[in-house]
Structure 1
Amino acid sequence: MARAPSLLAPLLSLGLGLRLVLSLPGAGATDCRSFGRAERLSFAPEARVRWLAPRVREQGPLDPLYSTVRHFLSVVQLNPFPAGLVKVLLNEPSSVEVDEVVRYEAGYVACAVIAGLYLLVVPTAGLCFCCCRCRQHCGGRVKTEHKAMACERCTLMVFLLLTTLMLLTGVVCAFVTNQHTHQQVGSSAEALPETLLSLRGLVSDVPQELQAVAQQFSLPQQRVLEELDGIGLSIGGSIYTQLRSTVYEALASVQSLGQALQVSVDHFWALNATLVELQEGQRDLELAVPEHRQRLLIQLREPGCQGCAGALSQARALELGANFSQVPPVGDVLHWLKGVPEANFSGMVQEENLTFNALPYLADFEITNMVRELKNTVAQQPAGLRTLAEGFPGWEAASHWSQALENVAQSSRPYLKEVQRYETYRWALGCMLCSVVLLVVVCNLLGLTLGIWGLSAREDPSHSEAKGEAGARFLMVGVGFSFLFAAPVILLIFATFFVGGNVQTLVCRSWESGELYEFADTPGNLPSSLNLSQLLGLKKNISIHLAYQQCKEGASLWRVLQLNDSYNLEEHLDISQYTAKLQQKLESFKVDTKNLDLLSPAAHRDLEALQSSGLENIHYPGFLVQIQKPTVNTDVEKLAQELGRLAQTQSSSVLGQQLQEEAQGLRNLYQEKVLPQQILVAKLNLSVRALASSAPSLQLETSGVLHRVTYLKEELPTQATLILRNESMCFLARELDYFSQYVAWVREQVTQRIATCQPLSRALDNGRVILCDMVADPWNAFWFCLAWCAFFLIPSIVFAVKTSKYFRPIRKRLSSTSSEETQLFHIPRVTSLKL
């Protein structure tokens, strides 16, 4: 680690300079992706029992029913909100005029008349029907069978079944809405004290909560101190990450250049050595080939040589082809490349890679003292936060606020208990009447089932009429229950309808439209005991509607209640002086970029020698001209085979022996002289072609590397300083983001949770949701479903009475006398009467 300070500057300059040269122009300025975005801090919000969660009725299958009931009530009550009537009712209840109330409630009065008619007519009709049945004047059986009886019976049974299904639908909905109403009334009664408890602490605990919020400034402080411990590793690591691919690519090109240099030099030395051997072999061939040619020409021209014409033509061509003394000279290149390469390019690149990989640790070692100074600056706390709680205005309205809510809570408890008690009675009565309607449905279904069973068994002569009679009696039992409980059903319907309907049309509709707030803001409409400004002890009157809108938008409590204009939250949250010190410290980071050298002196000499050698200027086509020529123009091996064949065909043994010896001599010449020369030519061909293809590009690459090194020497210091400053500013932006998160969190906590009046608007909204959506809607849906059942009880009675006659046995009147006696006849079942 003793070399750390001295190595850091060259390495930073190396990496940053390579990025400058090899990337786009102006790449010296980096972005902030190296540090990434600041993590989200998790601040602990103050635990407050007064915070109200918004209440919303969840969507459900009964929503269409609720909407239908609301539309029905809007038709029943067409009059607008009666501001004058409500004003008189609140201030002087004894002076309320009945005529004015009746005019406003005209729709409900009409419904009351309809309910009264139902209450009078249905029980009276039931009493008359019972008397008639007791005297047997109302038909209880079918007297005679006729052709249209089957059609009448089927029609009545279908209508009775449809009516029963409508009753079943209504009673099921009535059961469900009755239970929903009971549950919502109970939970709503419990929600009122909870709401009042939450509102009581709206102001009293503000200073303590502000102090607790100010203390959480230690959270961003601690995070910044933790990241300052690793700022050196972060900056070095970010530079390493950003420049890794560029630096590795540049070093790889240097290593590739070194390898190409080594390969080219090896090929050149191989070319030179092969050329020397070829020239020596050529001198030997220049002596041996003419001798063989001369002897062959003498022997093959003898008159006794039979079939020697072909061999003679080959012997005439037996002479040297390539002349390697005529190839271009390479002496100058040999002089420049003597001792090249001197440097170990592979080892040099490997050392640079290892040093570059250690960049984060070297940077951490470099800025240790600066980090210590930064920590001392961060450990301080801004002055504005220390006075955040002290500057909050204390006001007298807090006690009035708590006292008013305490009075409301105490006075509401008896009423809430009474509401729950009467709701229990209503729920029990609703369950009982719904059960009666359900019993009517069951009687109708049983009567239809048994009656149809009895009809289908009449074809059997041995059948019993008990099933049909039982079905008829079940239908009549349902009729009896309908007449008996019609009065309590309609009374419960009207009572719940009058209460729930007026709550919906008088309160909920005006509450949702804002008319209630406008009514409360109009002077003189509310009695003095309900004046909000007097209850809170405020010096100025406030508009309830305006205050509600401001609270809903998230306005601060002191602004809505006009308590004090001297408290400026933004002044306490101003930490610009604090952050300016951090910026000043970070800007003092310095990086030394002197003594940067990408290539070692030996490598530099090697590249300059290669550049000056003129390796690319060698006339390689001159080599290829001689290489493409054969070593000997005649195929020596083939000529030797031809001579051996001729030796066996000659009549002269002496000539044959001479040809055989000459053939053997040619074979020896080929193996000892020609074949080695051909191998050397192939080797020379490989080296020449390799140098011819690589020498031009190698010179260009060498020139580029040397140019880069020169350019880096001149430009890297300025660019490295610029990039390091940018990295420091990125780090500063990341750390300041933590403080920005804290400031934003404090602003949100103070304006939206601690010192906000949003709980007021939310309490009003929750009250409307509880009263209108959770209580009034199922309440009104209950009486609507029960009224649905009451309406369909009338056709159920009619169809049940009519249908029961067809389920009883048919009795035929005796025509011989005027007596009322009848005789029972079992009429066989015919096809036309089948169901």
Structure 2
Amino acid sequence: MARTGGLVGASLLGLLLGLARSLPGAAAADCDFLGQAERLTFAPAARTRWLTPRVRPPGPLDPLYGTVRRFLSAVQLNPFPSELVKTLLNDPASVKVNEVVRYEAGYVVCAVIAGLYLLAVPTTGLCFGWCRCRRRCGGRVKTEHKGMACERGTLMVFLLLTTLVLLVGLVCAFVTNQRTHEHTGPSVEAVPETLRSLQGLVSNVPQELQAVAQQFSLPQGQVLKELDGAGELIGNILHSGLSSTVYLALASLHSLGQALQVFTDHLRALNDTLTELQGRQEPLESAVRERRERLLALLQEPGCQGDCPWALEQAHILELGADFSQVPSIHTILHRLRGVPEANFSSMVEEDNNTFNALPLLAGMQMANTIKELKEIVAQEPQGLRTLAEEFPGLKAASHWSQALENLERNSRPYLQEVQRYETYRWIVGCVLCSVLLLIVLCNLLGLNLGIWGLSAREDSSHSEARGEAGARFLMVGVGFSFLFAAPLILLVFATFLVGGNVQTLVCQSWESGELFEFVDTPGNLPPSMNLSHLLGLQKNLSFLLAYQQCKEGAALWKVLQLNNSYDLEKHLDVSQFAQKLQQQVQGLKMDMQELDLLTPAAHRDLEALKSSGVERINYHDLLVQIQKPVVKTDMEQLAQQLEALAQAQVNPGLGQQLQEEAQRLRNLYQERVTAQQNFVAKLNLSIRALESSTPKLQLEVAEVLSNITRLKAELPARTNHILRNVSACFLSREMGYFSQYLAWVKEEVTQHIATCQPLSGALDNSHVILCDMMADPWNAFWFCLAWCTFFLIPSIIFAIKTSKYFRPIRKRLSSTSSEETQLFHIPRVTSLKL
């Protein structure tokens, strides 16, 4: 059936693509102008049939998990016990204990080690406690000697290293204990969810196939909906296909019209300003010459006092700087541009825009009849879809499958609840014992800190031995906790080790190696109540490994279950009639394109007049040379101020009065005539700059626009017909694409959700991830870290007892006449301290 579904999807999709490509222009058409086709959303017919793959993401604990797996592989060297498991499943009473012990030899060795630890450490603790009560062990150092500092330092270093190792293992134990607890709830909840998903895999397959057939109305309705506005849509696409060129041409015309208006305004302003400057130049030159001659006469008189030479020098250069009479006239160019612009470019462009924007409405009106015929074709429903699920095979097998999974899901709930309850107890015990280990670590660290503090303060003669004594007591408290909780620690370690280790070595390793599948597939290994072929009501034995591999590859469910009845899906999903009839109707789409008058005769005359006016020959350089010169070479304001200062410095009152009058006349001349001339020069400068920068560009734009408009008016009809052909072909391809979406969805739904058993392989993979990766790995890592800490308690006890003796005050000290030996040790006062 999987092969049938694949052939159906391939043949129908190939037919649709072949029909679309056979349309005129469809092969080369770029259909992006139609926009993104809407993605149809189909209601899943098997919403609970697909399982999301569970994957444990990589994390920082992965190296720890790998170490634990290698340790368990070293503990359990025996292969998968096929015969033992077969006997256990078929006849539990006949299982021999010696066979179980032989297989579990590695765990037995670990149990012996744990038993020795359980006996030795608490017994040693009792003996040490009795000894301490009798003051026969522990205590303090009796005599100080030369190597005591080295021994004490070595013991402190080893105790610190052991404590750090304990701390690392403790942190890992806390993390893995919490990780195990966090994974238990979701993992347990995933079991009934997985079973329910598998139960619904085939229970309602015929009804789901019918639901698939009914959703043919989605692409049908979408096509009918788009056909309602197809004429206007095609007109819009035609409009969009031409808009980039037409709008660009209209924008160029509008911009050129504005630039033409601005250019002629600046040109007329240039001519008017230049005429005004030339008319004012001669009277201004006469007035400046008169003032210069008068000033030269006054400043050259013998009685002139003050800085007359400087003023005389400025008076010599009192003359006009710019000579606008030398600038050539532009009257000829203005005469050629008389009346330009004649056309109203803004109104012309607006009218062209309105004409062009009416294309969608015109297309909708002309294509109404053709669209109506297309809708009648699409509204027909294929007969084969009505009987899609009537001949579905394997209904009896589907019923057996559903019943078996339903019973399994119902019976598993009490066990899963018990698993969660006992996991909570384990988590609480683990947290308590980890907290005890944390207390031991803290006692060691506090004891070391206080002891080292006490040792460093012994040089002070007034020092009290309380700090060192407190450090020793903290170490002994840690030793007491270690002895007290050694038994529950090793018991929890062994209990979790026995369960987690066997799950890893017996189940997970054999699952990953394939031994578990081989065991299930071997006839006679499983009792009839667990035989998969019996549960499904199949006549032939089903290979579980082969079924798993086929499901993982996406094989069809009826192929995996060895259902030989045929099911012709192709005859139920034949929609080729739509493609053929739609092709015939779409080819009849036509429309008449109104001719666009992009450039009126008046506008054309304006552009030709500018093009032949000769504005590019205007000598802007001579104009710029003149306007860059000052109107008057001398700073008249500064000269007037200097003359006023000279008038005050004159001894001759008559000369001073004349200088004062000349200063006022000079200032009046500047304000009345020179300032006005400067304003005209500034205005002339703006016009020259604008014209100089815009003239070359404007001439190029005029030539380009005239060329583009002429070419566009000639090409517009041919381009319209070409775009219409492409739009029609792309529209058909787009509408048939909705049926292609439906066929693709049917293929996916039938082959991956309804008609395939891929959820079965997904359930097995998820089960492996849940059991081995999410449960067994953190569980085993927890007991491994806890065992790590438990066994490192032994060196911690030894080093703590040894180190605490050096933190207590010393009763007797070594006396020596050697100055070197005396300097090595300081003998503090002896205090009365208890052992």
TM-score above 0.5, yes or no: yes
User: Which residue of structure 1 lines up, in the alignment, with residue 772 of structure 2?
Assistant: 772
Question: 2:355–2:596: 8 Å Cα contact kept in structure 1?
Answer: no
User: Which residue of structure 2 lines up, in the alignment, with residue 61 of structure 1?
Assistant: 60
Q: Matches of 2:256 and 2:472 in 1, distance apart?
A: 111
Question: 1:112–1:494: 8 Å Cα contact kept in structure 2?
Answer: yes
Shift of 1:733: 0.5
In structure 1, the residue corresponding to 2:120 is in which secondary structure?
helix
Distance 1:237 1:703, change over 3 A: closer
Deviations 1:270-297 (A, max 9, x none): xxxxxxxxxxxxxxxxxxxxxxxxxxxx
Question: 2:173–2:785: 8 Å Cα contact kept in structure 1?
Answer: yes
Q: Matches of 1:137 and 1:703 in 2, distance apart?
A: 117
In structure 1, the residue corresponding to 2:202 is in which secondary structure?
helix
- Structure 2 matches for 1:348-387, cutoff 5 A? 354-387=354-387
Deviations 1:209-239 (A, max 9, x none): 3333333333222322222222222222222
Shift of 1:802: 0.4
Q: Matches of 1:175 and 1:564 in 2, distance apart?
A: 56
| Equivalent AA in structure 2 for residue 215 of structure 1 | Q
Question: 1:34–1:239: 8 Å Cα contact kept in structure 2?
Answer: no
User: Which residue of structure 1 lines up, in the alignment, with residue 618 of structure 2?
Assistant: none
User: Which residue of structure 1 lines up, in the alignment, with residue 661 of structure 2?
Assistant: none
Question: 1:37–1:734: 8 Å Cα contact kept in structure 2?
Answer: no
Q: Matches of 1:352 and 1:450 in 2, distance apart?
A: 96
Q: Matches of 1:470 and 1:599 in 2, distance apart?
A: 103
Q: Matches of 2:794 and 2:43 in 1, distance apart?
A: 65
In structure 2, the residue corresponding to 1:809 is in which secondary structure?
coil
User: Which residue of structure 1 lines up, in the alignment, with residue 190 of structure 2?
Assistant: 191
Shift of 1:801: 0.7
Question: 2:521–2:544: 8 Å Cα contact kept in structure 1?
Answer: yes
User: Which residue of structure 2 lines up, in the alignment, with residue 74 of structure 1?
Assistant: 73
Distance 1:129 1:571, change over 3 A: same
User: Which residue of structure 1 lines up, in the alignment, with residue 136 of structure 2?
Assistant: 137
Q: Mark the structure with the bigger radius of gyration.
A: 1
In structure 1, the residue corresponding to 2:545 is in which secondary structure?
helix
User: Which residue of structure 1 lines up, in the alignment, with residue 534 of structure 2?
Assistant: 534
User: Which residue of structure 2 lines up, in the alignment, with residue 476 of structure 1?
Assistant: 476
Q: Matches of 1:110 and 1:376 in 2, distance apart?
A: 83
- Structure 2 matches for 1:716-755, cutoff 5 A? 723-755=723-755
Question: 1:384–1:573: 8 Å Cα contact kept in structure 2?
Answer: yes
Work out the number of aligned pairs and report it: 628
Answer with 418-427 or 572-581: which moved more: 418-427
Shift of 1:524: 1.9
Question: 1:395–1:563: 8 Å Cα contact kept in structure 2?
Answer: no
1:438 equivalent in alignment to 2:442 = no
| Equivalent AA in structure 2 for residue 442 of structure 1 | L
Shift of 1:207: 2.8
| Equivalent AA in structure 2 for residue 523 of structure 1 | P
Q: Matches of 1:438 and 1:119 in 2, distance apart?
A: 21
Shift of 1:732: 0.4
User: Which residue of structure 2 lines up, in the alignment, with residue 200 of structure 1?
Assistant: 199
| Equivalent AA in structure 1 for residue 106 of structure 2 | G
Distance 1:30 1:179, change over 3 A: closer
User: Which residue of structure 1 lines up, in the alignment, with residue 786 of structure 2?
Assistant: 786
- Structure 2 matches for 1:634-783, cutoff 5 A? 723-783=723-783
User: Which residue of structure 1 lines up, in the alignment, with residue 226 of structure 2?
Assistant: 227
User: Which residue of structure 1 lines up, in the alignment, with residue 320 of structure 2?
Assistant: none
| Equivalent AA in structure 1 for residue 439 of structure 2 | L
Shift of 1:782: 0.9
Q: Matches of 2:138 and 2:107 in 1, distance apart?
A: 40
- Structure 2 matches for 1:504-653, cutoff 5 A? 504-591=504-591
Shift of 1:60: 3.0
Q: Matches of 2:87 and 2:387 in 1, distance apart?
A: 51
- Structure 2 matches for 1:33-48, cutoff 5 A? 33-46=32-45, 48=47
Shift of 1:707: 11
Answer with 577-586 or 408-417: which moved more: 408-417
Shift of 1:94: 4.1
Q: Matches of 1:123 and 1:344 in 2, distance apart?
A: 110
Taking structure 1 as the reference length, what is the TM-score of the superposition?
0.67
| Equivalent AA in structure 2 for residue 152 of structure 1 | E
| Equivalent AA in structure 1 for residue 76 of structure 2 | Q
User: Which residue of structure 2 lines up, in the alignment, with residue 209 of structure 1?
Assistant: 208
| Equivalent AA in structure 2 for residue 198 of structure 1 | S
Q: Matches of 1:733 and 1:112 in 2, distance apart?
A: 74
In structure 2, the residue corresponding to 1:390 is in which secondary structure?
coil
Question: 1:559–1:565: 8 Å Cα contact kept in structure 2?
Answer: no
Q: Matches of 2:242 and 2:469 in 1, distance apart?
A: 100
Deviations 1:798-825 (A, max 9, x none): 100101111112112999xxxxxxxxx9
Q: Matches of 2:435 and 2:87 in 1, distance apart?
A: 43
Question: 1:257–1:702: 8 Å Cα contact kept in structure 2?
Answer: no
User: Which residue of structure 2 lines up, in the alignment, with residue 298 of structure 1?
Assistant: none
- Structure 2 matches for 1:320-339, cutoff 5 A? none
Q: Matches of 1:481 and 1:599 in 2, distance apart?
A: 100
Shift of 1:78: 3.0
Shift of 1:771: 0.9
Shift of 1:99: 4.6
Question: 1:458–1:829: 8 Å Cα contact kept in structure 2?
Answer: no
In structure 2, the residue corresponding to 1:811 is in which secondary structure?
coil
User: Which residue of structure 2 lines up, in the alignment, with residue 91 of structure 1?
Assistant: 90
Deviations 1:60-108 (A, max 9, x none): 3322221221122222223332333323332343444545444433332
Q: Matches of 1:27 and 1:539 in 2, distance apart?
A: 54
| Equivalent AA in structure 2 for residue 735 of structure 1 | E
Shift of 1:435: 2.7
Q: Matches of 2:122 and 2:34 in 1, distance apart?
A: 86
Q: Matches of 1:481 and 1:701 in 2, distance apart?
A: 97
Shift of 1:28: 13
| Equivalent AA in structure 1 for residue 225 of structure 2 | E
Gaps spanning 5+ residues in structure 1: where? 1-25, 259-341, 608-615, 621-697, 816-824, 831-835
Question: 2:249–2:709: 8 Å Cα contact kept in structure 1?
Answer: no
Shift of 1:255: 12
Shift of 1:119: 2.7
In structure 1, the residue corresponding to 2:725 is in which secondary structure?
helix
Q: Matches of 1:509 and 1:59 in 2, distance apart?
A: 20
Answer with 222-231 or 405-414: which moved more: 405-414
Answer with 68-77 or 731-740: which moved more: 68-77
Answer with 733-742 or 435-444: which moved more: 435-444
Deviations 1:130-160 (A, max 9, x none): 3433443335211111222222222212221
User: Which residue of structure 2 lines up, in the alignment, with residue 810 of structure 1?
Assistant: 810
In structure 2, the residue corresponding to 1:34 is in which secondary structure?
helix
The alignment yields a C-alpha RMSD, in angstroms, of 4.3
1:153 equivalent in alignment to 2:125 = no
Answer with 150-159 or 781-790: which moved more: 150-159
User: Aligned residues: percent identity?
Assistant: 72
Question: 2:46–2:208: 8 Å Cα contact kept in structure 1?
Answer: no
Q: Matches of 1:503 and 1:536 in 2, distance apart?
A: 28
| Equivalent AA in structure 2 for residue 143 of structure 1 | K
Q: Matches of 2:54 and 2:405 in 1, distance apart?
A: 21
User: Which residue of structure 1 lines up, in the alignment, with residue 488 of structure 2?
Assistant: 488
Q: Matches of 2:434 and 2:79 in 1, distance apart?
A: 34
Question: 2:551–2:756: 8 Å Cα contact kept in structure 1?
Answer: yes
In structure 1, the residue corresponding to 2:395 is in which secondary structure?
coil
Answer with 753-762 or 132-141: which moved more: 132-141
Answer with 92-101 or 162-171: which moved more: 92-101
In structure 2, the residue corresponding to 1:589 is in which secondary structure?
coil
Deviations 1:407-445 (A, max 9, x none): 323433343343334333333332332233222222222
Question: 1:28–1:722: 8 Å Cα contact kept in structure 2?
Answer: no
Q: Matches of 1:350 and 1:699 in 2, distance apart?
A: 22
Q: Matches of 2:395 and 2:62 in 1, distance apart?
A: 46
Question: 2:557–2:756: 8 Å Cα contact kept in structure 1?
Answer: yes
Q: Matches of 1:462 and 1:119 in 2, distance apart?
A: 47
Q: Matches of 1:167 and 1:99 in 2, distance apart?
A: 38
Distance 1:30 1:544, change over 3 A: closer
Q: Matches of 1:584 and 1:190 in 2, distance apart?
A: 57
Q: Matches of 2:191 and 2:140 in 1, distance apart?
A: 61
Distance 1:165 1:724, change over 3 A: same
Deviations 1:177-236 (A, max 9, x none): 223223333433333222222222222222333333333333222322222222222222
Q: Matches of 2:248 and 2:510 in 1, distance apart?
A: 75
